[in-house]
Structure 1
Amino acid sequence: MNAPDELKKAIEGDLKSIEQICIATWEPLYRFIYFKVQNREEAEDITQETYVKTLAYLQKHKMPWDNLPGFMKTVALNVLRDRWRQRKRRGIPVNFEEINPEETAGMDHQKAVSQRLQIENALAKLSEDQRIVLDLRINKGYSVAESAKLAGKTEAAVRTAQYRALQALAQILDDSD
């Protein structure tokens, strides 16, 4: 496959060339997306949408072949972010017809209180820095960039602190079982 020629033909709408590009790039792109979403159907949808958006973009702009895989990953991340934003705006769908009021009212609230206290105690064992990062990222939903700005840290420091905090929290909770 002569990559630049295939890309040029694909941009012009040649279905065989589009197929060749998909064959050459599908597996690494799909793996990249699947790693992010951990859901086969969603990864397939995002992969397909990535190809559509990439081709539409390439029909309007020129780009060398050697940048295509990285560009497609960027497009995939943008598609993924758009989906996450849409979900965040929509919230969690609730089917009120499937809710059984007696069952819901009879839930073990003592267990819920116990779990909450266990989590609060585990959080108290983390460093203040770790608690701040978890609060900004998880409780308040800020992005890494926003959290870094609010905490006065670099984005890498926020990512590292979040990772270490979640690891420590998991360890504390495992030890308490």
Structure 2
Amino acid sequence: MATWQSLYRFIYYKVQNREEAEDITQETYLKALSYMQKKNNKIEKHISFLKTVALNIIRDKGRKTKRRGTSINIDGINPGEIALEDPTESIIEKETIQEALMLLGKEQRMVINLRIIKGYSVSDTAKRMDKSENNIRVIQYRAIENLTKILKWGE
């Protein structure tokens, strides 16, 4: 399906867990198809509709988790693995990427935000930025190239 990749990226960005993102993506398609069959109508903006369904599923799961609380199997925890997970490394990486993005030009930063972070297609990004699809591809290529140079330079 043409929408799968961008929907999966969108969901993964929200939940930050591969298995959960896969489950939510699958559940999103099931709910969307069920809705479309019940209402017997065609959704014009598929990806927007799917993202809305996905957000609702994520919110519902969050509410259920808050009500139930989180259960942890203490016997299954390996202290050595947990000790190696340092959240400051993740925070530093995110800050480094944010700083690198700020060094890009406005257009390149916008394309990276729309295409990679938010998961929009090339055609959606082109429409939003009022540019051709080829122009978006070139801007994205150059932005990634620049980010690579900036991040390697900072090492």
8 Å CA contact 2:9–2:119 kept in 1: the answer is no
Distance 2:110 2:10 in 1: 24
Amino acid at match of 1:93: E
8 Å CA contact 2:6–2:121 kept in 1: the answer is no
Pairwise mapping of residues 142-153 of structure 1 onto structure 2 (< 5 A)?
A: 142-153=120-131
User: Would you say how many aligned residue pairs link Structure 1 and Structure 2?
Assistant: 96
Query: Which residue does the alignment assign to 1:93?
Result: 19
The structure with higher relative contact order (CA 8 Å, sep 6+) is: 2
Q: Offset of 1:113 from its aligned partner?
A: 1.3
Using a 3 Å threshold, how does the CA distance of structure 1 residues 86 and 163 change in structure 2: closer, same or farther?
closer
Distance 1:121 1:113 in 2: 12
Query: Which residue does the alignment assign to 2:148?
Result: 170
* Unaligned 5+ runs, structure 2: 13-17, 21-71
Q: For 1:144-173, what per-residue CA distance to the aligned partner results, in whole angstroms no more than 9, with x for missing partners?
A: 000000111110110000000000000000
Distance 2:125 2:119 in 1: 9
Pairwise mapping of residues 76-91 of structure 1 onto structure 2 (< 5 A)?
A: 81=2, 84=5
Amino acid at match of 1:174: K
Q: Offset of 1:90 from its aligned partner?
A: 8.6
Select 2:91's aligned residue among 97, 102, 113.
113
8 Å CA contact 2:10–2:119 kept in 1: the answer is no
Amino acid at match of 1:171: K
Query: Which residue does the alignment assign to 1:5?
Result: none
Amino acid at match of 2:99: N
**1:93 alignment partner, SS class:** helix
Query: Which residue does the alignment assign to 1:127?
Result: 105
Flag the structure with larger Rg.
Answer: 1
Distance 1:117 1:89 in 2: 20
Q: Percent identity?
A: 31
Select 1:137's aligned residue among 100, 115, 135.
115
Per the normalisation by structure 2, the TM-score is 0.52
* Unaligned 5+ runs, structure 1: 1-78
Q: Offset of 1:139 from its aligned partner?
A: 0.9
